[in-house]
Amino acid sequence: MQDAWSSREAWVYECLCCETTWDEVLEVRHFGDGHGNEAVIYERDGQPCTTPWTDCLCPKCQSRNVKAWAAARKAGELPPVRSGSDVAMVFHLRRIHAW
């Protein structure tokens, strides 16, 4: 059985040539095969597209020198701060290459 879910991601773009900024919201479809593998498809206006951080084109000057990053979350959407013991456990797991 195949797991599937979708989400929306907001991306902010900045042209490094003409300093134009714009944002886009993309539909992201995730497909899992039940064995731990996942495929992700990005859609813009219902059409499949490349990942948001590749192949960007400035709408003003047509430059490909564009920087993209995921839009910041709203203040109410921030995840809760982890306690010190959780952070220590993450560093321990990374040190032993378990995460």
Report pLDDT for 73: 54
Report pLDDT for 75: 47
Range in 12-16, 22-26, 59-63, 81-85 with the lowest mean pLDDT: 81-85
Q: How confident is the model at residue 1 (pLDDT cuts 50, 70, 90)?
A: very low
b vs e for 16-26, b when ≥16 Cβ sit within 10 Å of the residue's Cβ?
eeeeeeeebeb
Q: Which of 17, 29, 7, 10 is nearest to 63 (CA)?
A: 17
**13 near 23, Cβ under 8 Å?**
yes
DSSP state, residue 64: S
Bridge partners, 39 (sequence order):
31
Report the percent of the chain where pLDDT is more than 90.
18
Report pLDDT for 60: 93
Report pLDDT for 61: 93
